[in-house]
Amino acid sequence: MSHSSKTPKKTNNSAESITSSTRIKETTACSSNTIKRANSDEVETEAKNDETMVAPMNTNNNAIPQISDEELLEMALMFEKKQQP
C-alpha cells in the first residue's frame, strides 16, 4: 500500500519581501529628482533629492596641488636630514 502525502510547497516569503521592497526602493530612486511646490505667495521653489546635491571634489579655490613622486621623495629626504642630530 503506497501512501502519497502532499507536502505544501514552501515559499521563501522573506526573500520575496526583500525583492519586492528592493523593487520599491529602485522605483522611488528612479523617480523625478526635482519637486516643485508653491509657497503661500504662489512663488515656485524647487527642492532636490539628496542624491543630486552632492558637490564635486576640489571645487574650492584652495585646492591642494598635485606633486610628483620625485618631489615627494625629495621632500622626505630633506625632512629626514633635518631630523638627524
The pLDDT value given to residue 65: 80
- CA dist., res. 52 & res. 30, Å (int): 12
Contact 47, 35 (CB under 8 A): yes
Give the pLDDT confidence of 10-32 residue by residue, as tens digits: 555 555 555 555 555 554 555 55
Residue that the C-alpha cell 526635482 belongs to: 34
Q: Phi/psi of residue 54, each to 5°?
A: -85, 125
DSSP-assigned letters across all residues of 36-61: EEE-TT--EEEEE-GGG-PPPTT-ST
Domain spans of the chain, in order of start: 14-53
Contact 17, 2 (CB under 8 A): no
- CA dist., res. 74 & res. 80, Å (int): 10
Give the pLDDT confidence of 36-79 residue by residue, as tens digits: 555 555 555 565 555 555 666 556 667 778 889 999 999 999 99
Whole-model pTM: value is 0.26
